[in-house]
Amino acid sequence: MEEKSGHRRSVVIAMDSSASAEKAFKWYVENLRRPEDNVVMVTVVHVMDVFTPAQWRELMSSSDLDVSSFNVEKQRQTLEQNLEDLRVMMKEAKVDGTVQCIQAASASKGILAVAENCGADCIISGSRGARIFQVGVLGSTTEDLLHNSNVTLVVCPD
């Protein structure tokens, strides 16, 4: 990453609920962090990802609006808690920045959109995500970022 004179570096860190993402954040703090960095932790939500297949079928087939509303509210609360956990993680590490949650067709598209929007100088990603089944050496999101990012991508080891 080239350093621009007087430029406050913007760093996007891809976060999901995986241990790999948490390790990537810790790696950034220990190895790459500068006090003047502006960090954007981003987590991407897919409607289908916040529900198990059984919950989604129940939600879509339920004519009981109370059941549907309860399921949506329960997932919203879980997401809010996850976002608060990320804020606490940043505060405890004394990292300046924000936590963003966005909806996108894929995690990589969401991360790249945030990176473009904030003029990111680099993206930090773990090597694997929260998925149960992995394909290849890198997780699918990290591989998509590798092929499609126009900024420096740092893939942190597990």
pLDDT tens, residue by residue, 94-150: 999 999 998 888 889 999 999 999 999 999 998 875 444 444 445 688 888 988 899
Distance of CA 62 to the CA centre of its chain: 31
Q: Tell me the domain boundaries of the chain.
A: 10-156
The two tokens of residue 71 are 């399921």
Which residue, 54, 45, 20, 38, is CA-closest to 117?
38
Distance CA 118, CA 60 (A): 36
**Level-2 CATH architecture, domain 10-156:** 3-Layer(aba) Sandwich (3.40)
